[in-house]
Each structure stands twice: as structure tokens, then as C-alpha cells.
């Protein structure tokens, strides 16, 4: 099936099978969720200090799926908190080492190396896809969740650095065969490096489009699984915050993130606006969220929503209390209807940051109540 035909089929199916239920759940949720005052990371560091999280203005926790257990969920519910699971979607660490067929291949025909600390995976490898989708089903069946947040949703690369690592991938046999079938483009015989060079020189536009549709397909399948098991659960996305021009449009060109596709399946976007880690000034957070809100025409009372995640963690550099307040407020700019910070422990171990969070969240709560 050609790529454009395949996408049209997916889109029609989405509208006819998913949307009626999605619209119902979103209408219900919009009445319940006025704003998100969140933390990212297990709440234990704050609980160990005998905090009731609602007393700090917090109403939502975002926790790695592997750290969730029933005791944590039950305590969070007793404090009136929403619980969202972070789902490490395309992180191949500890998987590709034992499943070499899922190792991403670069334009030289070589296995990619870890990009800084991140090890990606081939997004089209059938075994890995089944592995992740089975994990999602188990998670949904095991716990009472308000949402699942996809993380590491991009082709192998590293954007969380001032100088990002942006390799060309993936040119494994499965990707090349799938691209050829979906696009109708016959790839000449030869070694992998020659095939890759031929595609990049002759069909770059089709290649980039196909790669973005592969990422979109992951969100589509995730949404489909959620709809079948727990349709009220939201699907969120932690993602690279670059605009359409930065690094020669690498967000789309290399990472494969096409906002115009993703907004059809994603309920909530969470731009990862880590200012210090990306070598930006604190005010960049506000500017970015305003740009993103305009780019997707985000409205606070409609879906998709935007709930950014900002940096509180002191690495690299030290995030001062003043900086933390600027980025926390900046995450509420534009059409944002919520914010969270990375990480819970970074806030819990610093009394000044705890007070900043409490001040910002309490004012937000009071404003919402009026």
C-alpha cells in the first residue's frame, strides 16, 4: 500500500472508529480537568517529608510505568491526585543488546551507537512493536490510571543537548523493504550504504514523510489499544520542543515528529522545555509554549491540550529558585492548561524550590476556583 493511501486509510479509520469515543471521553475530562499542577517522578521524596501533596497545590503525578505499584496509586488517590504513567516507547536500551534485529542502522550500514545517554531502536521491527504493545496492555489492565504519556517517541537521536546528535536512520532491511512497499519506490540492489545514499539523494521528501508516518502509526496503535481497554484514559506525548526551523527542521527531518499528524491521536502534548540542558535562557520556555500553542491552535478548553514539562533538576548547571519560578510560569503561557517539572526529587530536596512550586500552584488553583 502506498504511503499516502495507507495514511488516508488510517485517518478515515481513526475518525470512524476512535473519534466518537474520544470525543465523549474528552468532553467528560474537560469538565473534570481544569488545569494540571503536576510533578514528574515518584512522589516518595515528598511523602518522606510528610507532605500531603494537595497541600503543595499538586493535583497530578507523572511516574515511570516501571515504578508504579498499587500502594503508590492508592495513596495518590487518597490525596485526590490524578495518576499518569510515563511509557518509554522507543527506548531500546536493554532490548537491542539481546534482540539485535531491532538495532537501528545508519546511512553507512552500521549499527548506531548510543546518542549521548539515549539508545534508540528500529521503530518498524515487528518483534519490538509487539513487545511494547503487550507492555501497554498489561499496564492498562493492572492499574487505575488517568493517562499514559509516550516518551522517547522519535527515531534514534538525542535532542536534549545544546549540540544535538542527529544521525540518519534507520536503513535496516526491514525499514528499507517497508519504505519501498509503502511508497511504491523500488530501491536499486546494492549494499546498505549505497541504498541509503540513493534514497537520500533521489527520494528524500518521500523518505522523511514515510518516517513521520511510522511515528504517527505508533501513536495510532497506542490510541487504539487504550480505546479497547480503557477509553477514558488520555494519551500524552513527551516530545522535542524545537520549532519548524531549528536545526534545519530536524524535529521533522530527523526525529520524525509531524505535529499535523500527531494532533489527530494525541490528547495532550508535553513539550520537554529543559532550558538549561538545551543551553537556553529561562524566558525561552514562555516563548516556546506561546509558539507551540499558536502552531497547533491550542485552546485551553479543548483537545489537544498542552502541559509542558520544565527543568528543576540541577544537571547540567544549577537551577536557581528564581529560574525555576520563571520556567514554571513560562510553562503556563499561551494555550497551556497545565505544567509539571523534572523532577520530584529535585524539588523535594530543595526547600526553596518546594516553596516556589507551592506558591505558583496555589495561585493557579485559586485562579481556577474563581
Cell numbers found for residue 267? 490528547
* Angle (CA) 318 320 326, round 5°: 125
Give me the residues paired with residue 234 across strands.
Answer: 147
Cell numbers found for residue 71? 500502594
Quickly name the fold that domain 3-33+84-369 has: TIM Barrel (3.20.20)
What is the domain partition of the chain in residue ranges?
3-33+84-369
pTM of the model: 0.92
Check residue 30 and give its pLDDT.
39
What is the Cα–Cα distance from 186 to 251, expressed in whole angstroms?
Answer: 27
What is the Cα–Cα distance from 145 to 82, expressed in whole angstroms?
Answer: 8
What is the Cα–Cα distance from 167 to 105, expressed in whole angstroms?
Answer: 10
What is the Cα–Cα distance from 309 to 272, expressed in whole angstroms?
Answer: 5
Cell numbers found for residue 29? 475530562
Check residue 33 and give its pLDDT.
61
Check residue 84 and give its pLDDT.
98
Say how far residue 74 (Cα) sits from the centre of its chain.
Answer: 25
Check residue 32 and give its pLDDT.
52
Check residue 369 and give its pLDDT.
77
What is the Cα–Cα distance from 143 to 85, expressed in whole angstroms?
Answer: 10
Handedness of CA 89, 278, 159, 334 (dihedral sign): positive
Which residue, among 201, 195, 198, has the nearest Cα to 171 in the 3D structure? 195
What is the Cα–Cα distance from 121 to 98, expressed in whole angstroms?
Answer: 12
SS3 letters across the chain: CCHHHHHHHHHHHHHHHHHHHHHHHHHHHHHHCCCEEEEECCCHHHHCCCCCHHHHCCCEEEEEHHHCCHHHHHHHHHCCCEEEEEEECCCCCCCCCCCHHHCCEECCCCECCCECCECCCCCCCHHHHHHHHHHHHHHHHHCCCCEEEEECCCCCCECCCCCCECCCECCCHHHHHHHHHHHCCCCCCCCHHHHHHHHHHHCHHHHHHHHHHHHHHHHHHHHHHHHHHCCCCEEEEEECCCCCCHHHHHHHHCCCCCHHHHCCCCCEEEEEECCCCCCCCCCHHHHHHHHHHHHHCCCCCCCCEECCEEECCCCCCCCCHHHHHHHHHHCCCCCCCEEEEECHHHHHCCHHHHHHHHHHHHHHHHHHHC
Terminal C-alpha separation, the chain: 53
Q: Give the pLDDT of the chain (370 residues) as one tens digit per residue.
A: 334 434 444 444 444 444 444 433 443 443 356 699 999 999 999 999 999 999 999 999 999 999 999 999 999 999 999 999 999 999 999 999 999 999 999 999 999 999 999 999 999 999 999 999 999 999 999 999 999 999 999 999 999 999 999 999 999 999 999 999 999 999 999 999 999 999 999 999 999 999 999 999 999 999 999 999 999 999 999 999 999 999 999 999 999 999 999 999 999 999 999 999 999 999 999 999 999 999 999 999 899 999 999 999 998 899 999 999 999 999 999 999 999 999 999 999 999 999 999 999 999 998 887 7
Which residue, among 349, 298, 365, has the nearest Cα to 60 in the 3D structure? 365
Distances (CA, A) of 21 to 17, 18, 137, 228, 234: 8, 6, 18, 10, 12
Amino acid at each position: 500500500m502506498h504511503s499516502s493511501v495507507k495514511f488516508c486509510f488510517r485517518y478515515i479509520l481513526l475518525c470512524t472508529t476512535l473519534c466518537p469515543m474520544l470525543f465523549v471521553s474528552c468532553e467528560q475530562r474537560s469538565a473534570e480537568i481544569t488545569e494540571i499542577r503536576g510533578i514528574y517522578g515518584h512522589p516518595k521524596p515528598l511523602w518522606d517529608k510528610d507532605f500531603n501533596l494537595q497541600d503543595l497545590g499538586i493535583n497530578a503525578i507523572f511516574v515511570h510505568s516501571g515504578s508504579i505499584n498499587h500502594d503508590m496509586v492508592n495513596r495518590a488517590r487518597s490525596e485526590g491526585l490524578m495518576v499518569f504513567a510515563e511509557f518509554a516507547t522507543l527506548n531500546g536500551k536493554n532490548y537491542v543488546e539481546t534482540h539485535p534485529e531491532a538495532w537501528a542502522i545508519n546511512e553507512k550500514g552500521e549499527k548506531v551507537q548510543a546518542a549521548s545517554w539515549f539508545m534508540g531502536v528500529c521503530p518498524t521491527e515487528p518483534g519490538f512493536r509487539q513487545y511494547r504493545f503487550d507492555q501497554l496492555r498489561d499496564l492498562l489492565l493492572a492499574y487505575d490510571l488517568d493517562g499514559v504519556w509516550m516518551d522517547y517517541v522519535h527515531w534514534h537521536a538525542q535532542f536534549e543537548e545544546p549540540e544535538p546528535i542527529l544521525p540518519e536512520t534507520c536503513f535496516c532491511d526491514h525499514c528499507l523493504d517497508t519504505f519501498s512497499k509503502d511508497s511504491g519506490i523500488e530501491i536499486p540492489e546494492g549494499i546498505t550504504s549505497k541504498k541509503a545514499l540513493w534514497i537520500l539523494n533521489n527520494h528524500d521528501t518521500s523518505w522523511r514523510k514515510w518516517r513521520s508516518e511510522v511515528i504517527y502509526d505508533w501513536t495510532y496503535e497506542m490510541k487504539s489499544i487504550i480505546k479497547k481497554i480503557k477509553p477514558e484514559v488520555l494519551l500524552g506525548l513527551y516530545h522535542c520542543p524545537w520549532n519548524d526551523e531549528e536545526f534545519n527542521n530536524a524535529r521533522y527531518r530527523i526525529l520524525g515528529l509531524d505535529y499535523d499528524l500527531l494532533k489527530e491521536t494525541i490528547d495532550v502534548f508535553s513539550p520537554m522545555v529543559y532550558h538549561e540542558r538545551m543551553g537556553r535562557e529561562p524566558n525561552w520556555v514562555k516563548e516556546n509554549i506561546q509558539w507551540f500553542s499558536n502552531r497547533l491552535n491550542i485552546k485551553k478548553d479543548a483537545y489537544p491540550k498542552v502541559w509542558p514539562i520544565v527543568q528543576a533538576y540541577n544537571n547540567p548547571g544549577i537551577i536557581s529558585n528564581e529560574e525555576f519560578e520563571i520556567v514554571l510560569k513560562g510553562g503556563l503561557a499561551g494555550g497551556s492548561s497545565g505544567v509539571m517539572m523534572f523532577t520530584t526529587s529535585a524539588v523535594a530536596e530543595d526547600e526553596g524550590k518546594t516553596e516556589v512550586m507551592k506558591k505558583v500552584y496555589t495561585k493557579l488553583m485559586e485562579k481556577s476556583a474563581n
